[in-house]
């Protein structure tokens, strides 16, 4: 066996460039990099040498480049991955939030933060965070709780085992999530005689575990006996490419489907079995079905509180079809541990031509028809001085090109979009609502556009998220990746202000005027930008944006107090037991009455 002498950084980059998808594409689509003294000399040199095989992209914020990598992986259905590298200190700690987003959402990203010197010769180095009680600790230890796999590379040869383990995590459907390889900066530059076999191209195939026979039998018996079955479709359906199998399953067995934020689009909005969004931000149709269902088949969802109405929504027995046993057993579910596609196919084989009772199908059809009328009313233009978020959503939807991808993440918009946006099908609705991270939206839109440059990408966000992170507008312009950004200015954090008042508190510290000319700010970042006064003007601006040569930002003022009251369900937000305010005491009494 021959060897080749390379630095640790050179070996790392060469190895990443050799990894492939099962179709022969490069598994790593590129590396986001903001260079500093902890990664520029060694890793930067290695990336430059391999820039044709492994492109490097420059962002303006380390957290934002992490969001772009996450969105790319999500839009690629976890089939392709990006890496992110920073210097030590603030550059590294900026990426920790992005690592948490990836961890919560079960999405693969490789984080490569620079670290202190393994030798400790110049200790402490610039930007080093020192621990008074542990000489082995650096700021990169903050990645440990938000990484599926963490390793610190202090010797070149450690990379041989670490990269193998990292790849297993990044490509495994059950363990999938962020990996952090903390790279000591002197180790990056050290040379080692690497086995040539380490760099042989390798294809990574999607593992599809079938269900256990006993679990399958139990799940099928429960569904066969159900009088009012319901399917809850999560993001795992899309990551398994199981939307077509799910559609046939729902049609064959006459079982209605509700969708989580991550699962929205599994069935087209107009499909007769699609009841729409589930939970706190759900449709009335889906939530009434959830309350009455005696068996719930939860597919590829981690069942967070917005899906379950803080564990108050579902009353029936749950079957957890999930590739990850940790999620399959939640809520005392009957576990059906399997790939979603394999699990649904196996269930259909056992259920044969069994169909849910027609009385249940007819009832859910009526709820669905009633909700569609309610949604149409919420989306229609009104006569108020300032439009609601829902009315803006209606205008955007009416003027969106066919097949466009809608991107959003935090604030009041995700709730309105979940219940009201008519997703055309898989991949057209991209919400980061596992971590609901403000600032994800624009960087996320950039990652979605990188995953498929042929599709129009529409980013919707509020002024709070925009002011928190907007720098990747400049990146989108520099890379020629056009986005259409609809910026709803409600003068602060309107969603939290509504929640504050709903829990009995006075409006405080949320609707704080920002005093920023948002149009001028976006234009200064290189975007085409305009203010619009009303919904017809918004629709006209949207149409101009679709033919514009670069990213466009459209700013519209909205009503911070307005939200869609229809649909939705209870959410557990603890209210103080003791307060001088009568409003808080009343809210506490209502909270105790509603709490299961």
Task: Please write the tens of the pLDDT for every residue from 517-530.
Answer: 999 999 999 999 99
Same domain, 402 and 270: no
DSSP letters for 496-542: HHHHHHHTTPPP-SSS------HHHHHHHTT-EEEEE-SHHHHHHHH
Same-domain pairing of 199 and 243:
no
Would 580 be classed as within a structural domain?
A: no
| Rounded Cα gap, residues 539 and 5, in angstroms | 59
CA distance 489 to 462: 6
On whether both 196 and 221 belong to a single domain, the answer is no
Query: 180 has which bridge partners?
Result: 111, 150
Task: Flag whether 154 is in a domain.
Answer: yes
- Are both 226 and 126 inside the same structural domain? no
Residue 509: the pLDDT is 96
Spatial distance between the Cα atoms of 71 and 53, rounded to a whole number of angstroms: 21
What's the pLDDT at 282?
97
Could you tell me the strand order of the sheet in which 484-489 lies? 429-431, 405-408, 457-462, 484-489, 552-557, 528-532
Q: Examine residue 568 and state whether it is found in any structural domain, yes or no.
A: no
Q: Is the pLDDT of residue 398 over 90?
A: yes
Three-state DSSP class for residue 421: coil
Whole-model pTM: value is: 0.97
Last residue of a domain, one of 341, 371, 401: 371
Total tally of structural domains belonging to the chain: 3
pLDDT of 592 reads 94
Domain that holds residue 197: 3-204
Q: What is the mean pLDDT of the chain?
A: 97
Looking at 172, 187, 204, the residue that finishes a domain is: 204
β-pair type (334-337, 110-115): unpaired
pLDDT in tens, 544-572: 999 999 999 999 999 999 999 999 999 99
- Residue 595 inside a domain? The answer is no
Mean pLDDT over residues 479-504, rounded?
95
Q: DSSP readout, 305-336?
A: HHHHTTTTS--SEEEEEESSHHHHTGGG-EEE
| pLDDT greater than 90 at residue 383 | no
Contacts of 71 by beta carbon, 8 Å cutoff, 6+ apart:
407, 430, 432, 440, 443, 444, 445, 446, 447, 448, 451
Residue 22 pLDDT more than 90? yes
Is 571 among the domain residues? no
421, 548: one domain: yes
**Is pLDDT at 1 greater than 80 in this prediction?**
no
| CATH code of the domain containing 428 | 3.40.50.970
Per-residue pLDDT band for 407 (boundaries 50, 70, 90) equals very high
Quote the percentage of the chain above a pLDDT of 90: 98
- 304 has pLDDT over 90: yes
Is 113 inside a domain boundary?
A: yes
Mean pLDDT on 101-108? 98
Look at residue 180 and tell me whether its pLDDT is greater than 80: yes
Instruction: State how far the Cα of 543 lies from the Cα of 64, in Å rounded to an integer.
Output: 28
**Residue 431 and residue 420: Cα distance in Å, rounded?**
13
Residue 219 and residue 114 share a domain: no
| pLDDT computed for residue 596 by the predictor | 84
Q: Which pair of structure tokens corresponds to residue 375?
A: 């949604």
């Amino acid at each position: 066996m021959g060897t080749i002498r390379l630095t640790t950084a050179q070996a790392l980059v060469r190895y990443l460039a050799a990894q492939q998808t099962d179709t022969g594409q490069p598994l790593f689509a590129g590396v986001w990099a903001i260079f500093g003294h902890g990664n520029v000399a060694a890793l930067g040199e290695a990336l430059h040498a391999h820039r044709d095989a492994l492109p490097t992209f420059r962002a303006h914020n380390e957290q934002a480049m992490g969001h772009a990598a996450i969105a790319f992986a999500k839009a690629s259905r976890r089939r392709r991955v990006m890496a992110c590298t920073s210097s030590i200190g603030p550059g590294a700690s900026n990426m920790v939030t992005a690592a948490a987003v990836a961890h919560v959402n079960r999405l693969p990203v490789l984080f490569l933060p620079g670290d202190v010197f393994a030798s400790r010769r110049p200790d402490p180095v610039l930007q080093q965070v020192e621990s008074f009680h542990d000489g082995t600790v650096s700021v990169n230890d903050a990645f440990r709780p938000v990484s599926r796999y963490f390793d610190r590379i202090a010797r070149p040869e450690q990379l041989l085992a670490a990269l193998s383990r990292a790849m297993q995590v990044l490509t495994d459907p059950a363990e999938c999530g962020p990996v952090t390889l903390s790279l000591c900066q002197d180790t990056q530059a050290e040379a080692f005689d690497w086995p040539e076999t380490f760099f042989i191209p390798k294809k990574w195939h999607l593992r599809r575990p079938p269900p256990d026979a006993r679990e399958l039998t139990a799940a099928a018996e429960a569904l066969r006996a159900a009088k009012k079955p319901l399917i809850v479709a999560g993001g795992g359906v899309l990551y398994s490419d199981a939307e077509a199998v799910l559609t046939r399953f729902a049609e064959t067995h006459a079982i209605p489907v509700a969708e989580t934020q991550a699962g929205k689009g599994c069935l087209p909005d107009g499909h007769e079995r699609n009841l729409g969004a589930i939970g706190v931000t759900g449709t009335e149709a889906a939530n009434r079905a959830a309350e009455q269902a005696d068996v719930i088949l939860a597919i590829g969802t981690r069942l967070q509180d917005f899906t379950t109405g803080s564990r108050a929504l579902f009353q029936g027995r749950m079957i957890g079809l999930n590739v990850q046993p940790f999620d399959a057993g939640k809520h005392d579910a009957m576990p059906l541990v399997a790939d979603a596609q394999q699990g649904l196919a196996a269930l259909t084989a056992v259920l044969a031509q069994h169909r849910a009772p027609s009385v249940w199908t007819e009832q859910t059809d009526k709820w669905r028809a009633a909700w569609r009328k309610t949604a149409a009313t919420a989306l229609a233009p009104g006569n108020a001085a300032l439009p609601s978020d829902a009315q803006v959503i209606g205008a955007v939807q009416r003027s969106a090109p066919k097949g466009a991808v809608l991107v959003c993440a935090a604030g009041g918009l995700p709730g309105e979009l979940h219940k009201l946006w008519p997703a055309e099908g898989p991949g057209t609705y991209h919400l980061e609502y596992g971590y609901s991270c403000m600032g994800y939206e624009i960087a996320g839109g950039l990652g979605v556009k990188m995953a498929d440059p042929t599709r129009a990408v529409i980013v919707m966000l509020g002024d709070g998220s925009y002011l928190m992170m907007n720098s990747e507008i400049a990146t989108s312009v520099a890379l020629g990746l056009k986005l259409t950004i609809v910026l709803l200015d409600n003068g602060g954090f309107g969603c939290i202000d509504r929640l504050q008042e709903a829990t009995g508190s006075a409006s405080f510290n949320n609707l704080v005027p920002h005093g920023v000319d948002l149009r001028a700010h976006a234009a200064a970042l290189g975007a085409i930008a305009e203010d619009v006064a009303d919904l017809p003007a918004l629709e006209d601006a949207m149409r101009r944006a679709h033919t514009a040569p670069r990213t466009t930002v459209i700013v519209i003022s909205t009503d911070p107090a307005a939200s869609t009251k229809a649909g939705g369900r209870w959410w557990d937000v603890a209210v103080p037991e003791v307060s001088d305010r009568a409003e808080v005491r009343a809210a506490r009494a209502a909270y105790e009455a509603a709490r299961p």
